[in-house]
């Protein structure tokens, strides 16, 4: 299982993650990322990894459990 971790202190709400994988990521009203899933959903592995890798603030990471 792969967990998605968001460091809200680093997030600037740019929205790259949301544009690449809106089923998992959203920029909330507070201007930071909101995760719709705590773990990578089956079938979205590539999109989630691309979104994490594209974060300009490196606020997102993946942790293997």
pLDDT of residue 44: 98
| Positions of the chain with pLDDT lower than 50, given as ranges | none
CB 59 within 8 A of CB 33: yes
pLDDT of residue 14: 97
CATH code for residues 2-58: 3.30.70.20
Count of residues for the chain?
Answer: 65
pLDDT of residue 61: 98
């Amino acid at each position: 299982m792969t967990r998605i971790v968001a460091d809200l202190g680093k997030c600037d709400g740019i929205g790259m993650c949301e544009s690449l994988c809106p089923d998992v990521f959203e920029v909330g009203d507070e201007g930071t990322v909101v995760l719709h899933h705590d773990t990578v959903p089956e079938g979205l592995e590539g999109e989630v990894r691309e979104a994490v890798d594209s974060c300009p603030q490196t606020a997102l990471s993946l942790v293997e459990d």
